[in-house]
Amino acid sequence: MEVTGARTVTKMADVLLLHLNDISEALVATSLIKRLVKDGCNVHTISDENSSNVFRYCTASSSIMYDKPITRVYDVAINLSPSYFSSEVMRNVSANKKLGYSVSSDGNIEFLNDGAKRHYESRHLGIVSKSNAFQLLFSLSDLVWQGEGYSMGYFPRNRTNKKLTGVATKDTKLKHFLLNDLNLESSRLWEIPFKKNILKQMDETNRCKQIVTDDLTILHVALALRKNVEFLVQKEPNYRIEMFGSGKIHIYDGGGIKTEIISPQKETNVTS
């Protein structure tokens, strides 16, 4: 805190988020940025190009990772990715407090806090957790999730046709199941193309009011756009999937959709 004359000025904490991971978790991370900004932090992100497209629309200063060293000193640095490259970058960052993943002196990936260990065990080892993806990411950041949703300021270019149901799946057998098990009309189905650019993916997904998918990135895109989502999985997820009251989760196998899991209400106090 700095005092200037009779006026007191509180210095905002400078927070670095390193995200060199899958794009689906970048969408979840927008809720973390939303919280940090609300708490009065200056948030700076360093990521790959696709994730940077997400972060620059959610009130964060966004940069693409190059080979140049990070010379700025931060109050807090959080590495969201357990990849060796991201952890090695984290090791060389100067910050008063570090959270998430780094590289130890013997060259192995290390957890900088208990939340990072819980995040890794659930998201990357498949150990069953009662937490959802938001809770796991907040725990990695030494915060408690309070129900924050996605924070995207991007407005898709395509308008929504309320009569269309968008289908995004790489499993061609699912189309038969959609017509028979979910009772969808073929004339109202529209196949959502998969796009490498996340903003173009949002453009395409926004064409439809309802989305049916087995793809995790499309799930988060659709929920961020406040679509009604039918999410298809081949086995029960090892962590809770927060649908924000906007859809259902179905388990399917080669014989069709056999189980329906109604999305639970938000539980903000789950820690394991």
In angstroms, how far is the first alpha carbon of the chain from the final one? Answer: 36
**pLDDT score for 257:** 62
**pLDDT score for 146:** 96
Write b or e for each residue in 186-199: b if 16 or more Cβ atoms lie within 10 A of its Cβ, otherwise e.
eeebeebeeeeebb
106: helix, strand or coil: coil
Task: Tell me yes or no: is domain 8-140 CATH 3.40.50.1240.
Answer: no
**pLDDT score for 71:** 87
Distances (CA, A) of 172 to 78, 143, 191, 195, 206: 39, 41, 11, 18, 22
CA dist., res. 158 & res. 260, Å (int): 31
Q: Give the residue among 111, 74, 191, 206 at the shortest CA–CA distance from 152.
A: 206
Q: Give the residue among 221, 86, 98 at the shortest CA–CA distance from 166.
A: 221
Residue corresponding to tokens 């509180």: 10
Give the pair of three-digit tokens for residue 69. Answer: 């060293």
- Per-residue confidence of the chain (272 residues) as pLDDT tens digits? 343 444 444 568 999 999 987 899 999 999 999 999 999 999 999 988 888 889 888 876 777 766 677 889 999 999 999 999 999 999 999 999 999 999 999 999 999 999 999 999 999 999 999 999 999 999 999 999 999 999 988 999 999 999 899 999 877 777 666 666 666 666 688 899 999 999 999 999 999 999 999 999 999 999 999 999 989 888 888 899 999 988 889 887 766 666 666 554 444 444 43
Torsion over CA of 26, 32, 33 and 34, rounded to 10 degrees?
Answer: 120
CA dist., res. 131 & res. 271, Å (int): 6
Cα angle for residues 150, 182, 216 (degrees, 5° grid): 30
Secondary structure (H, E, C), 29-77:
HHHHHHHHHHCCCEEEEEECHHHHHHHCCCCCEEEECCCCCCCCEEEEE
Could you please state the CATH topology (level 3) that the domain comprising 161-262 is classified under: Rossmann fold (3.40.50)
Comma-separated ranges of CATH 3.40.50.2000 domains in the chain: 8-140
Distances (CA, A) of 227 to 80, 150, 154, 205, 207: 27, 13, 15, 9, 10
0.75 surpassed by pTM: yes
